[in-house]
Structure 1
Amino acid sequence: MKRKTISTLFGVYVACALLFNFGFLSVFAEGDPVAAVNNLSDYIFGLIRAVGMIILG
């Protein structure tokens, strides 16, 4: 790969990582904090599964 392509892909990766860490991901615990953690875990693994399906085609 060309150096410019690699740096562009790295920039996209960094932008996505920052969005996931500081952007739109909010969790509100209504009553049971363990349920909130389980819901967050399901959400993150769902995102990972969706990205994997997109990459595999």
Structure 2
Amino acid sequence: MKNDLHNRRFERRAQRAYAVFACLVAVLTLTVMHAMAADDPLAVVDNLSEFVFSLIRAIGLILLGWGIVQVGLSFQSHDPSQRSNGFLTLAGGIVITFTKEILTLITG
């Protein structure tokens, strides 16, 4: 009985790990941006800047998804500390996702 329970827990953890890995691969595959080489040095810097901001956006989307999962699990388990951590992660994911737009609003 105990061994059967252990196997079910292991299978659930393995399924969760596989789902997270599959989502990570999908996000990294779908957010690929080709950097085009250019003769103008400013164009090269702009391409690098776009690439870095796309990486930051991908990280923000991952955090956004993780925050949604944490908030959902907190409602299921009625855990207020997990709920607050989930909302903080959600807010951080939103800020990180829209970093480029926030910086352009600040600098004008």
In the alignment, what sits opposite 2:46? 35
Long gaps (5+) in structure 2: 1-8, 69-108
Cα distance in 1 for partners of 2:10, 2:53 equals 37
Higher relative contact order structure (alpha carbons within 8 Å, sequence separation ≥ 6) = 2
Q: Which runs of 4+ in 1 moved over 2 A?
A: 3-16
The number of residues matched between the two structures is 55
Tell me how far 1:8 sits from its aligned partner: 3.5
Cα distance in 1 for partners of 2:62, 2:16 equals 19
Tell me how far 1:15 sits from its aligned partner: 5.0
| Identical residues among aligned pairs (%) | 8
Computing the radius of gyration from Cα coordinates, the structure with the larger value is 2
Deviations 1:2-28 (A, max 9, x none): 174477468648956x858xxx44212
TM-score (norm 1): 0.57
Cα distance in 1 for partners of 2:18, 2:50 equals 33
Long gaps (5+) in structure 1: none
Structure 1, 7-16 or 26-35: larger mean CA deviation: 7-16
TM-score (norm 2): 0.36
Structure 1, 31-40 or 4-13: larger mean CA deviation: 4-13
RMSD: 3.2
Cα distance in 1 for partners of 2:63, 2:24 equals 18
Q: Which amino acid aligns with 1:28?
A: M
Considering fraction of residues, name the structure with more helix.
2
